[in-house]
Amino acid sequence: MTHKALIQAATQALIDHADELTELDRAIGDGDHGLNMRRGAQAIQAQIDQLDGPSLNDSLRSMGMICMSSIGGSSGPVFGTLLITLAKELPTRPSSDDLARAVGAGIKALTRLGKAEVGQKTLLDVLDPVRRVLEQGGAGLGGRVRQCALDSANATAHIEATRGRASFLRERARGHIDPGSRSMALIIGAICDTL
């Protein structure tokens, strides 16, 4: 398995679901999340051959920088920071414990960046449950992580938004899935399906 296959799967999932992500963001945001994520995914795909050669850590770092320079709004710094943090934290051949620890570090970095916490209708509401599943390890881990990510993103529909643009709607944001959480679930799902 090369990095290229994982990168291709994750970025293509965002491109394929850009319209869905845009519709989710129209309901509770400014409607540009899908377009921004597609732009970032396409920018990464344009450099996919260069990203396949280096170590996983180098690839993650480079993708983080691409996200920061090509994705508009808050999503560029958010997804960029997450990727760069993972690049710093992951060993060459990560175990599920290593992944859980790195995701935990990513959650802390994003909390510092956006002053958001788990339970505030953000992608942290996907990352934290996924981290806990990774900590459990065991058989069928990829399927359990994938399902956890999808279920957790869907569960954001029941959370009142208290951070980000959706926070202006407060209670009216209920019933709508957080677009950043859905993007995170798509990425995680695509990676799990490819492994």
Q: What is the pLDDT of residues 44-94, one digit of tens each?
A: 999 999 888 778 899 999 999 999 999 978 899 999 999 999 999 999 888
Mean pLDDT confidence for 8-24: 96
Q: The CATH number of the domain where 170 resides is what?
A: 1.25.40.340
Q: What is the pLDDT of residues 140-168, one digit of tens each?
A: 999 999 999 999 999 999 987 665 554 54
Domain total in the chain = 1
Q: Work out the pLDDT band at 3, boundaries 50, 70, 90.
A: confident
Q: Please, are residues 38 and 18 in contact by the beta-carbon 8 Å criterion?
A: yes
Range of the domain at 19: 3-194
Inform me whether the pLDDT recorded for 176 exceeds 90: no
Inform me whether the pLDDT recorded for 131 exceeds 90: yes
Q: What is the pLDDT of residues 114-127, one digit of tens each?
A: 888 898 889 999 99
Inter-helix orientation angle 18-28/179-194, to 10° = 160
Q: Please, are residues 188 and 127 in contact by the beta-carbon 8 Å criterion?
A: no
Mean pLDDT confidence for 189-193: 95
pTM given for the model: 0.91
Inform me whether the pLDDT recorded for 173 exceeds 70: no
pLDDT at 93: 85
Q: Please, are residues 87 and 68 in contact by the beta-carbon 8 Å criterion?
A: no
Q: Which long-range contacts (CB under 8 A, 24 or more apart) does 155-161 make?
A: 155/125, 156/121, 156/125, 156/126, 156/181, 159/119, 159/120, 159/121, 159/125, 160/121, 161/28, 161/120, 161/121
Residue 103 CB contacts under 8 Å (≥ 6 apart), including other chains: 86, 127, 130, 131, 134
Q: What percent of the chain has pLDDT over 90?
A: 68
Among 58-67, 100-109, 132-141, 162-171, the least confident range: 162-171
pLDDT at 190: 96
pLDDT at 172: 54
